[in-house]
Amino acid sequence: MIDLKDLTITKARKALDAKQFSAVELAQAYLDEIKKKNKELNAYLEVFDDVLDQAKRSDEIIEKGKSYPLLGIPLAIKDNILIKDRIASSASKILENYTASYDATVIEKLKREGAVFLGRTNMDEFALGGSTENSAYGPTKNPHDITRVAGGTSGGSAATVSANLALGALGSDTGGSIREPSALCGVVGFKPTYGAVSRSGLMAATSSFDCIGPITKTVKDAQIIFDVIRGKDKLDSTSFSQEPFLRKVRKIGVPWDLINQEGIDVKVKENFREAVKNLKNLGYEIKDIKLPNCLALYYIINFAEVSTNLARFDGVRYGVHKDGKNLLGDYLLSRGTGFGKESRRRILLGAYVLSAGYYDAYYGKAQKVREALKKEFKELFSKIDLILTPTSPIPAWKIGEKSNLLSMYLVDIFTVTANIVGVPAISVPSGFMEVEEKKLPLGIQFMAPHGGEDLLFEVGKKFEAMK
């Protein structure tokens, strides 16, 4: 029996190389666990039928005496990342029958390493949401309390890692979609610098915010996956290869104004203060900084880009097609029935903020504020090395509890900023809070300057080691 609970990518690598267990045995252990738990959690939308064949191929490479960091490691992949010959639906009805005709660049890199893909994970439709409740295939449940959400939009990916249904997972992060579900499920979630990982083969939500990144049990594991998937790609002109970042972390900025306001759970604040104390004990200097609330800015740009990006789904070349009276009728019906509520809402809002009479007031203004914020961050990072906040203002909430849209949007208050300015950020577990006799996980978030991933890994590992 392989002990999946305490297994990490680092440990599994050693065990595989030492032949303590084979990749097939490891994959089988995960398949058994998935069989036991996935029905209840709804974390995987599909478990691939060739998992053991993939693992067998990895074993053959191991037999030859070769070793790569992810060789034979079982991973879960978010449903908006393309794997050739497999369905990729973005948890939407409109793509329920869509089969990818090529590999995303990250998938190509993972395949080259001999990683094993267990299946595709549940998410908010087209990565629009924050709880995985917007999936057309039902919400993912939080492994720590199945009456609660797993967070989102990469809720399925975070739940698989948290419940030992995968050793690691890929998610995508547009405004917190890797970090927030990771915090709510008690695992590590890492969003790289914008452009550090190629977006080729990732279904676009907000192209100027989107990033692919890992969800894992430890900071070291996140770093291992990141090192495999990073790098410039000719298929994504926004991607780049990073220069090593020479800087040590000494000063950490905390935006106390933003954290001490109402709407942030009292126990989240307590947990956060405890984390700050621990970081002080590690020798870091904590500085009070000011950060604005960026939600309005974030959502205007999100609506506009989502509206544009989702225009391609029209039922003409692939996906769900509904027959109307004429071509226009086909569009109206296919899109009307294929998209879920939140997608439709954001498509309409995007068309509104981009329309002639309102463009300057909304989208145009948002772009100006975004430029100003980028400049502000540059100045800020000349005085401090990292920024620290809670990842989410509240712990996992009950499924169906948040019927008010704005209250759902407000959960992203601490995470959207990193996407707006394009800096890397990581969510690390910071303990639990007790609610109704259940222990719900919490997380804290570090943000670093552009290209400062190493700073996040360094401090993240030290914080993690204090547990």
Q: Which residues bind another protein (CB under 8 A)?
A: 84-85, 97-102, 234, 237-238, 292, 295-297, 299-300, 307, 311, 314-319, 321, 326-328, 330-333, 335-337, 339, 344-345, 347-349, 351-353, 355, 361-362, 365-366, 368-369, 371-372, 374-375, 405-406, 409
Closest approach of another protein to the CB of residue 447, in Å: 20
Which residue type is seen at 163? A
Q: Is-contact 170 197, C-beta < 8 A?
A: no
How is residue 164 annotated by DSSP?
T
Instruction: Give the shortest CB-47-to-another protein separation in angstroms.
Output: 21
Nearer to another protein, 270 or 360 (CB): 360
Give dist(CA 429, CA 425) in Å, integer. 14
User: C-beta of 74: minimal distance to another protein in Å?
Assistant: 25
Structure tokens at 415: 């995470």
CB-based contact 461:252 (threshold 8 Å): no
Instruction: Please give the span between the terminal C-alpha atoms of the chain, in angstroms, as a whole number.
Output: 27
Least Å distance, CB 409 to another protein, is: 8
The minimum distance between CB 382 and another protein, in angstroms, equals: 16
What Å distances lie between residue 249 and 122, 243, 446, 449, CA to CA?
36, 18, 12, 11
- DSSP conformation class of 141: E
Question: Which stretches within 190-265 are classed as H helix?
Answer: 219-229, 256-259
CB of 198 to another protein, least distance (A): 13
Q: Which is nearer to another protein, 10 or 99 (CB)?
A: 99
Task: State how far the Cα of 17 lies from the Cα of 19, in Å rounded to an integer.
Answer: 5
What's the CA gap between 357 and 377, in Å, rounded? 31
Q: Are 158 and 182 in contact (CB under 8 A)?
A: yes
Kindly tell me which of 246 and 356 has the beta carbon lying closer to another protein: 356
Q: Which residues are catalytic?
A: 78, 177
CA distance 106 to 102: 12
Closer residue to another protein (CB): 366 or 386:
366
Q: Which CB, 226 or 362, lies closer to another protein?
A: 362
Reference 245, options 426, 427, 424; nearest CA is 424
Nearer to another protein, 273 or 368 (CB): 368
Looking up tokens 């910071």, which residue turns up? Answer: 430
Give 362's DSSP letter: I
CB of 210 to another protein, least distance (A): 16
Task: Identify the CA nearest to 174 among candidates 264, 303, 69, 41.
Answer: 303
Specify the residue, 157 or 307, whose C-beta has the smaller distance to another protein: 307
CA angle 180, 416, 289 (to 5 degrees): 105
